Amino acid sequence: AVENVVWAYPTPLPEVAAIAGHVSFYDDALRVVVEEDWPDGSKVTVRFPLWGDAAELCRIINVQQVSDSEFIGPAHGPTHRNVVEGGQLLGEAIVAASKALPGQRITSASMIFAKAASFDAPVDLSVDVLRRGRSFSSAEIRISQSGVLRSAGLVLADSGAGDVMRAVEPMPDVPGPESAVPFQGFGMTGREIRVVDGAYDPDPDRVGPPIINAWVRFRDAPPTPYLNAALLAQSTTHWTIAAGMLPHPGLGEARAHATLSTGIMKATIAFHDDVDVADWLLYTNHAFWSGRGLVQGDGRVFTRDGRLAASYTIQAMVREFATEPAVMGRDSRTAM
């Protein structure tokens, strides 16, 4: 028998009256899954606790312009893990640069994540246009929170041109999304993830090559190309650390932020073709080096029909804690 898995509040106080008549489950004792009905008739499941919906991610990434060079990324609010992933900051930088350089497309962005940001406060973005040209423009992006620098990087934008030549690396021969394993993690409704062979596995005893292939799509497409690009970029930082752990027995994502300090330190992405993130995208991830407390990986993003939409490189940290999280007053929800 399983005990202590539900609780109820039959006569709640007025300020929490909405929970009357409801039963609550302890998600640390039970596996609680939210099933979402999508417009195309599919049912997509996400494991509780929820971070939020993809529409909320899009709202945050779509930074608000307050001057020609200054932007604000709104806060999300309290959440289970109060650490913003680097991919979100990368996406916000792409949107800020796109708004600061109207009429041009961001072709590449490279960001260093100097210090973690939190979800419960807004971030401030400054865009310093280094050169605004007819064909190409470049800009430096700085992201701070509470007056402290969190991330900095460079973006390149261009005005577009026709093909002088075209060559594309072929998409790897992997099973399509229908044959991949649904992934219920990350706690976000409005996004579906399916991992080939279920390779994104927190089990420390799972061993395999340092490769993760993941199919990703969103329920709703955002209204602009730069928001599609930003959402594409946000998902690039999910996979490299887990891929780097796969060849090593005793390691796995379950140890991240608990017994190992992990995080994305740098991400660089180049955009090749425009995409609609409501269609399936294949993220191919190869962690080709690990050591000295770091993992280095690269990846490609393909559309389902084989077009190469983007390519990226990731440098990540995987190392022992210098100081145990409990000593610092932290736990897996706040530690790197």
pLDDT band at 278 (very low <50, low <70, confident <90, very high): very high
Please give the biggest Cα pair distance in the chain. 72
Domain ranges of the chain: 31-161+180-328
Output the pLDDT for position 141.
Answer: 99
pLDDT in tens, 110-130: 999 999 999 999 999 999 999
Beta-sheet strands, E only, within 159-244? 181-183, 188-189, 191-195, 211-218
pLDDT, mean of residues 147-153: 99
Query: What DSSP string runs through 85-131?
Result: -HHHHHHHHHHHHHHHSTT-EEEEEEEEE-S---TTS-EEEEEEEEE
Are the C-beta atoms of 312 and 269 separated by less than 8 Å?
yes
Beta-sheet strands, E only, within the chain? 6-8, 23-25, 33-37, 43-47, 52-53, 64-65, 70-73, 105-113, 123-132, 136-145, 148-158, 181-183, 188-189, 191-195, 211-218, 261-271, 281-291, 294-303, 308-319
pLDDT band at 235 (very low <50, low <70, confident <90, very high): very high
Are the C-beta atoms of 172 and 215 separated by less than 8 Å?
no
pTM for this predicted structure: 0.90
Most confident of the following: 8-22, 205-219, 240-254:
205-219
pLDDT in tens, 181-228: 999 989 999 999 999 999 998 888 899 999 999 999 999 999 999 999
Fold of the domain built from segment(s) 31-161+180-328: Porin (2.40.160)
